Structure 1
Amino acid sequence: MLHYREHRDEIDALLRQLQPLQPLRVEPGAAIPGSFWGAPEAGLISPFIYLRDDTPVHSALHEAAHFVCMDGARRAALHTDAGGDVAEEDAVCVLQVLMAEQLPRVGPERLFADMDAWGYSFRLGSTAAWFEQDAEEARAWLRHHGLIDVNARPTWRLRT
């Protein structure tokens, strides 16, 4: 599994494009504030994403995608539980893959493997199969909210 420590600079650079989201590093062994699943998973307390060196890359990207996909009112009150409905959760999963494409040393194939190993589950049995064959509704959700363009490239702006 890929970890934040191995990709810190490129992840931080990507996350800085999502202002006001701000990555904050948590010291090794310390509790991760705002982590829904507990350490080592990333934590969210608006406007911060908390990351520890052993935080999985998929977790960092997933929580950042939640921040992007929620509206401003939810973002302002964000503490630990990103909430949202099934359609938004699916959109978050697509967006985290699109974010992985922006990280040359990560990429979608490696992210798919880590998501599968962590326990993400999709109707078609794997993250890659879902993303390639069954995620059009999630892409439509992202386009509707202006978070990706017609070519499924992230726009790097937050949902209002």
Structure 2
Amino acid sequence: MTIPDSLPARSRLVHDAIRAAGIPGDIVVLPDAASTAVLAAQALGVEVGAIANSLVFFSDGAPLLVMTSGAHRVDTAALAERLGHGRIQRATPEQVRQATGQAIGGVAPTGHPAPLRTIVDEDLAGYPEIWAAGGTPHTVFPMTYDELVRLTGGTVMKVD
């Protein structure tokens, strides 16, 4: 169990947010950066699909957080059509940091300066436990699919 005071500042914000949401999982500090779903899955000994990637996009001038299974990619054209939006494009590293306060590779589903509109990949529901970044590329935490949806206030839909 990680003591919150020993966590990086960004991860402490995430820890506080998950506790406030009633999520019991602890933030785990990994010895090596797990900035991709494959690296995180290898470090945790889980299927890559059980990694909840936090991807930040921009659509209609606003940030859009997509929590997707590490097993596939987001089809931005199909997602834009489902949402009734114009083009969805990947955020730049600067836009990601501005929207989330976190760096690419460590973006958590929570702990941001302001709530982000969030889409949650329906395929994550197939895993009894999923793992998400904890605010830095070295931190992750477990939760259930239902906890992720509740934590983010996300809209569940197909993203690939």
TM-score (norm 1): 0.29
More strand by share: 2
Relative contact order, higher structure (CA 8 A, sep 6+): 2
Using structure 2 for the length normalisation, give the TM-score: 0.29
